[in-house]
Amino acid sequence: MSSNWQPIDSYQQNNGTPDRVVTFSESSDKGDDAGVDSSPHDKMNFFQAVKKVQKLRRLERQQTRHTKSARKDGEHAPLIQDSRDLFRGTEKDDTSKPMEQPTVLEALIEIVLGKGVISWCLACAPLALVSVYFHWGATWVFWLNFMTLIPFASILGDFTEELALHTNETIGGLINASFGNAVEVVVAINALLAGEIRVVQGSLLGSIFSNLLLVLGCCFFFGGLKHKEQKFNATSATANMGLLALSSIALALPTPFAQYYNLHDSEVLLISRLAAIFLLFMYAQLLVFQLHTHADIFENDGDDAPFTRISMPVALAGLLTTTLLVAFFSDFLVESIDGFTEASGISRTFVGIILLPIVGNAVEHVTAVTVAMKDKMDLAMGIALGSSTQISLLVVPLTVLVGWIVGVDMTLNFPHFEIIMYVLSILTVSIVLSNPTCNWLEGSLLITTYFMIAVGFWFEKIKNY
Amino acid sequence: MSDLRPIITNSRQPARRLVSVGPEDDAERAPGERMSFFHVNDTEPETIGDVSYEPSSVAQVLRETVLGKGPISWCLACAPFALLSFYFRMGATWVFWLNFITMIPLASILGDFTEELALHTNDTIGGLINASFGNAVEVVVAINALLAGEIRVVQGSLLGSIFSNLLLVLGSCFFFGGLRHQEQSFNATAASANMGLLALSSIALVLPTPFAEYYELHDEQVLMVSRLAAVFLLCMYAQLLVFQLHTHTNMFQNEEGEDEQSAKISMTVAVFGLLVTTLLVALFSNFLVDSIDGFTEASGISRTFVGIVLIPIVGNAVEHITAVTVAMKNKMDLAMGIALGSSTQISLLVVPLTVIVGWVAGVDMTLNFPHFEIALYILSIFTVSIVLSNPTCNWLEGSLLITTYIMLAVGFWYEKIENY
């Protein structure tokens, strides 16, 4: 019998029963969704969502590995292991079958090459290097490095997960939290050190827009096409929206001052840096809240010794190597932006806001939509909303502080238009999320919002940046 | 059980059955009792399905439609005077007000003919017809003003219609309904769907606006952004129709399976009546728009105020009365369906339509609204969404919305726009 301790949480809508602190449920190993006896839809914070997705992927890999070993001779292995197959039929916890430990080499090959279509993009890597050293032209450099970075995001995620499995829940959550958006951080810091402030701002804001509107919208849309109406837990959604609203205030804070009150740029910088510290502080509190004081004990389904494919040193080495590779290729990417914007006529803002976030988000996007189509909307929303919260509360202030240390004048002084769009997007999403059911129309609404914003940014030409 | 009401179809038929302002009540009234302006039928219409009207002739039905609306029908008496005032040049103020008052009953008649036509078709096409012609008066006035080059008036009248529906009509529903019934509940799903769509439209309105000011975009690019946004909005509207009339129809069913009334007049008569009324509306609104120039000069009222506060009354007055009456009968979902559905329709259909018509006709109509109006628009949506987040309502919330509207009107009274 596993127990579920449900904390008294200010977000939780207790029906006036504050004495109900501890609840024991009679759940045994019934599977993933068993064991929570309150609402059928779990309060899914970001870290739980990430962990759950990772667990689903692990189970699927175990199954395919098992079927592969059980395959008769002469039967061909599927040439392309589609990432969409990952979630087919993983409802049951299949721990009863004996698992074989793959060798390190097998595991690494699985991580790097076992992702179907996405892994093919790795073929661009040598081409990307060639294009830089042989001066093929900025457009080629840009797109080749762009395509190369996409699978790296996925590989980085895998190594992060493996490393996190070797530690306990808390540190694991911390690791997932820190490295969850590693690609965005690396790209942003690269651009920062190259002095491309506009690209940094654009890529961060664009990541938030992409997660909040495009990913969430696609989840609702494709999920809604499959299932007429889906429910989700509105409480955690609202909590996330509250944090995003806080970040929007921080972004708005220095902006008017630079315009309306004739403050020197040094004062704008100071305001930005103070706001950044507050945001990071808020993020730290969020971590403490989700990983320590209100850490719902994740469903205990007998997975005490999670199946790790590689040892901790290997995972660490893989993580570091991949991060270095990401830094390497994103360096080329950032350097080519100048020539790319000139050659193609696409505005720098559009590159930053719309194109760059695709690198960090593409894989997450596909995962979230697949999960939504399997009617696990809470999971999908946990990923989308949690990612945007992380970027706004962690990555944005981090870039400001890194700029402070390095001596680059990175501020939170975004153009008014972008702030307005940000606030309106948050407003739209919070309206859509106020009702705990969703359908394809709401998804289409969010996607349309994203497209309209993209149209706006296509035409945007900023002076003085 | 409060079910979801049709958001967009704007069918006032169920509402009409509950509201009787007309000669049918004469028989029930005790001798000596005066007919009140709103004759609110307190008895719950249990036997709605059995009520059978038996018009004996087309002429009787037409007479009922045109003249059977009490005080509203009296306004039709202004029609000849309106024509006279125009041709004998009685002065812009007279022309304005007389045409203004003439158009109010025409809106109601147009609605009736639309209903009759919709009854001759199935649910889907009927919904479509209701959706398209539900705001016919606003569309006609807007296009008239557009072709006359009065961009400010067009923008104002559309924005004002949305404000009027969202704040004034909804507020009055909550207020008067709340005076009668302590607390009323409504379905929050439909409400939040509507608010989501309105928020989307607010983004569209904001989109071109900053470009014209902050960044160096030529007006052509502002136009292009406006037109693209308009296309997106129309696509969204089409998807809304598909959603309501096709994929999720079961969410929007009539309660208790009432029998639809059979049509009172034949389809040809309905189409004919619809066309005639539309032409009349076009004619009078033409005079109205022409007189705005002189009216603003003579009276000193700003063009913005005329567009935002005065002109929407024409299209909305009758809907307003219907919605309030229905709300007082404790059918809040119905009332909200009318109010919210109308504002969604205007923002998703009529506004982009005027941009596209301007594109076709060569008039530079953009979504470039003054910042003040955009800010107020967004804040209104914000306020209404807060009020609607809680699925019950009371008179105080109604008063809140009405006060918001009045404050907006005060702001627009003093607004003076340059460069328009």
pLDDT in tens, chain A (465 residues): 333 333 433 333 334 444 333 333 333 333 333 333 334 455 566 777 777 777 777 777 777 666 666 654 444 444 433 334 444 444 344 444 445 567 777 778 777 777 777 778 888 888 888 888 888 888 888 888 888 888 888 888 888 878 887 877 777 777 777 777 888 899 999 999 988 888 898 899 999 999 999 999 999 999 999 888 888 877 778 778 888 888 888 877 776 666 655 556 777 788 888 889 998 998 888 888 777 776 664 444 445 556 677 788 888 888 899 999 999 899 989 888 888 888 888 888 888 899 999 988 888 888 888 888 888 888 888 888 888 888 988 999 999 999 999 888 888 888 777 888 888 899 889 888 888 888 898 999 999 999 988 988 887 765 444
Q: Is the pTM of this model over 0.90?
A: no
Sketch the domain layout of chain A as residue ranges. 104-299+307-459
Torsion angle, CA of B122/B125/B129/B132, rounded to 10 degrees? 160
Put simply, the answer to whether A448 touches B235 (Cβ < 8 Å) is: yes
Instruction: Residue B199: list chain A partners with CB under 8 A.
Output: 424, 427-428, 431
**A415 backbone dihedrals φ, ψ, rounded to 5°:** -60, 145
- Which residue of B192, B224, B378 is in closest CB contact with A424? B378
What pLDDT, on a 0 to 100 scale, did the predictor assign at position A355?
Answer: 92
CA distance to partner chain A, nearest, from residue B189 (Å): 6
Residue B155 has pLDDT above 50, yes or no: yes
Put simply, the answer to whether A445 touches B189 (Cβ < 8 Å) is: no
B193 in contact with A at a CB cutoff of 8 Å?
Answer: yes
- The 8-class DSSP code of residue A294 comes to T
B231 in contact with A at a CB cutoff of 8 Å?
Answer: no
* CA–CA distance, B94 with B65 (Å, rounded to integer): 27
- From A431, which residue of chain B is nearest by alpha-carbon distance? B196
What pLDDT, on a 0 to 100 scale, did the predictor assign at position A407?
Answer: 85
Q: Which amino acid, residue A294?
A: H
CA distance to partner chain A, nearest, from residue B241 (Å): 10
CA distance to partner chain A, nearest, from residue B35 (Å): 43
- The 8-class DSSP code of residue B49 comes to G
CB A280 within 8 A of CB A401: yes
Is B236 part of a structural domain of the chain? yes
* CA–CA distance, A77 with A65 (Å, rounded to integer): 11
Q: Could you identify the residue written with the tokens 């509250």? A: A242
Length of chain A: 465
* CA–CA distance, A110 with A128 (Å, rounded to integer): 23
Is B130 part of a structural domain of the chain? yes
First to last CA, chain A: 61
Which of B25, B292, B23, B253 is closest to B151 using CA atoms? B292
Is B35 part of a structural domain of the chain? no
pLDDT tens sequence across B156-200: 899 999 999 999 999 999 999 999 888 888 877 778 778 888 888
CB A128 within 8 A of CB A309: no
Task: Supply the mean pLDDT for chain B.
Answer: 78
Which of B4, B9, B10 is closest to B250 using CA atoms? B4
Where do runs of H (alpha helix) occur along A297-395?
Answer: 312-344, 348-350, 356-373, 377-390
Best of B166, B192, B340, B344 to disrupt the A interface (most A CBs within 10 Å) is B192
* CA–CA distance, A441 with A447 (Å, rounded to integer): 10
- Structural domain count, chain B: 1
Range in A96-100, B346-350, B385-389 with the lowest mean pLDDT: A96-100
Is B26 part of a structural domain of the chain? no
**A231 backbone dihedrals φ, ψ, rounded to 5°:** -105, 155
In this structure, which topology does domain A104-299+307-459 adopt according to CATH?
A middle domain of Talin 1 (1.20.1420)
Phi/psi region, residue B70 (left: phi>0; alpha: psi -120 to 50; beta: rest), is left
CB A439 within 8 A of CB A328: no
A421 in contact with B at a CB cutoff of 8 Å?
Answer: yes
B374 in contact with A at a CB cutoff of 8 Å?
Answer: no
Give the CATH number for residue B162: 1.20.1420.30
What pLDDT, on a 0 to 100 scale, did the predictor assign at position B303?
Answer: 82
What pLDDT, on a 0 to 100 scale, did the predictor assign at position A261?
Answer: 55
Q: Which amino acid, residue B228?
A: L
Is B50 part of a structural domain of the chain? no
CB B353 within 8 A of CB B24: no
Cα B335 to the center of its chain, rounded Å: 12
Please name the residues between 314 and 373 in chain A that touch chain B, using a CB distance below 8 Å: none
* CA–CA distance, B172 with A4 (Å, rounded to integer): 49
Range in A16-30, A252-266, B66-80, B304-318 with the lowest mean pLDDT: A16-30
What pLDDT, on a 0 to 100 scale, did the predictor assign at position A424?
Answer: 87
- The 8-class DSSP code of residue A71 comes to P
Query: Could you tell me the residue range of the domain that residue B410 belongs to?
Result: 60-255+264-414
CA distances from A230 to A223, A437, A440, B252 (A): 8, 5, 10, 17
A163 in contact with B at a CB cutoff of 8 Å?
Answer: no
What pLDDT, on a 0 to 100 scale, did the predictor assign at position A80?
Answer: 38
B202 in contact with A at a CB cutoff of 8 Å?
Answer: yes
Q: Which two tokens stand for residue B14?
A: 């169920």
Which residues share a beta bridge with B19?
Answer: B40
CB A390 within 8 A of CB A46: yes
Which residues share a beta bridge with A27?
Answer: A2
Q: A67-91: b or e for each residue (b if 16 or more CB lie within 10 Å)?
A: eeeeeeeeeeeeeebebeebbeebe
ipTM, two decimals, is: 0.76
Element (H, E) at A3: strand A2-5
pLDDT tens sequence across B220-245: 777 888 888 899 999 999 998 888 77
**Of residues A57 and B83, more confidently modeled:** B83
Length of chain B: 420
